[in-house]
Amino acid sequence: MIMKGLYDMKRIVLAWKKSSLIKRIAIGIALGAVLGLTCPKLSAIGLLGDIFVGGLKGIAPLLVFALVTNALSQHRKGQKTNMKTIIILYLLGTFSAALVAVLANYLFPLHITLTASKTKITPPDGIGQVLSNLLLKVVDNPVNALITANYIGILSWAVVFGLAMREASKSSKELLQTMASVTSKVVEWIINLAPFGILGLVFKTISDKGLAVLANYGSLLAVLIAIMLFVALVVNPFIAFVLMRNNPYPLVLRCLKVSGVTAFFTRSSAANIPVNMKLCEELGLNKDTYSVSIPLGATINMAGAAITINVLTLAAVNTLGISIDFATALILSIVAAISACGASGVAGGSLLLIPVACSLFGISNDVAMQVVGVGFIIGVIQDSCETALNSSTDALFTAVGKKSVWGKSKNRNTMRLEKSQPHFLINPILL
């Protein structure tokens, strides 16, 4: 009997190992939901989620520093990385998302009930403070940046050290490469625990908040999710199609499936960096590119944050009866896109930056903070969807940058011309 039990257990373990990570995560989600509804007082289960996210957040700063430093130190002159294209895509994607949120307001104007917020949080005084905070983060003490998970500072110092290490000896570069590989291996071990961690996260969310907590804010939440889905399934694929000139949906759906699902539950673009790294590796992308673009995307590619800022701000504008023209709405999109770049790693995230956008319409800070309070209420779902969009887009635009045909067709045409034309037509100096 005991032997049969051991044999059955072995079969279950083998089947578990052979199944994909996505399937294992799906099982974790289902079990977490069932336990959250049936056994909400078993708080120890929620500890699994805290440990998992804590492990990811603990290793992520070191991973970013190690990978970016190693990638830049190993980079050789003339090696193509497509970083310029990827950065443009990040900025374009964030602005497009902000603009879609503004346009959606004209189709589905929202109103919210403003009540006093109990959340004590100090917003930035304006866009100038947002930009100054970003610059100060760049020059933060590198050790402090690692300890406090200041990803902007980590990224900037990793770039500096990586460029400096180009002149180092071969053995030093090999040591750096070994450190990056070891860190990646540790991350892989943590990722394999994702099903248990997500089980704990789902359990904690459902047992603490329940399913009815979002009922009063259903319309607001529905519009937010709809806009994010529209950006993920229409806007981003359109951008990808323009650059790749082929069907983008297999790539888009894979990024959403692998990266978006995990990010939905971890609620952290930084914590999802290892998942995106693995996905880029599976897609066969250039490691020199994605080891820099993925950490960079987790810092500045914030389409979801831009949507949240605009939707909640415009809901407050409608509630207060403030008229808004398209030119002002366009300015709001630009402000939201710039502000969203500073939302990564900030407590409160995109919600913290709502008062900045509200100030464009003369809305007092007291009222703006009430809007922030509404954001915290729906944050159970809003923050998850926002992170899923942000993180999956990091991987998507990295892949699009690699597969882009822009600039390549020109090079091919030039080469074709050089082969087909007489030499004297190409080089008139010889005439």
Neighbours of 162 (CB within 10 A): 22
Distances 131 to 102, 127, 134, 135, 138 between C-alpha atoms, Å = 23, 6, 5, 6, 11
Range from 41-55, 62-76, 223-237, 411-425 that averages highest in pLDDT: 223-237
Q: Is the pLDDT of residue 420 over 50?
A: no
**pLDDT value of residue 1:** 58
Helices 303-319, 365-403: axis angle to 10 degrees equals: 150
Can you list the alpha helix ranges (DSSP code H) found in 320-364?
326-340, 354-358
Please state the domain extents for the chain.
Answer: 2-405
This prediction's pTM: 0.69
Angle, CA 191 vertex, CA 274 and CA 252 arms, to 5°: 55
- Which tens digits make up the pLDDT trace of 107-151? 888 887 765 444 444 545 555 665 676 677 778 888 888 887 776
> In sequence order, what DSSP letters do the residues of 135-158 get, joined into one string?
HHHHTS-HHHHHHHT-HHHHHHHH
For 265, half-sphere exposure in the C-beta direction (CA atoms, 13 angstrom radius) is 34
- Find tokens 């049936």 and name the residue: 38
CATH homologous superfamily of 2-405 equals Sodium:dicarboxylate symporter (1.10.3860.10)
- Which tens digits make up the pLDDT trace of 365-404? 677 777 877 777 677 688 888 889 989 999 999 999 888 7
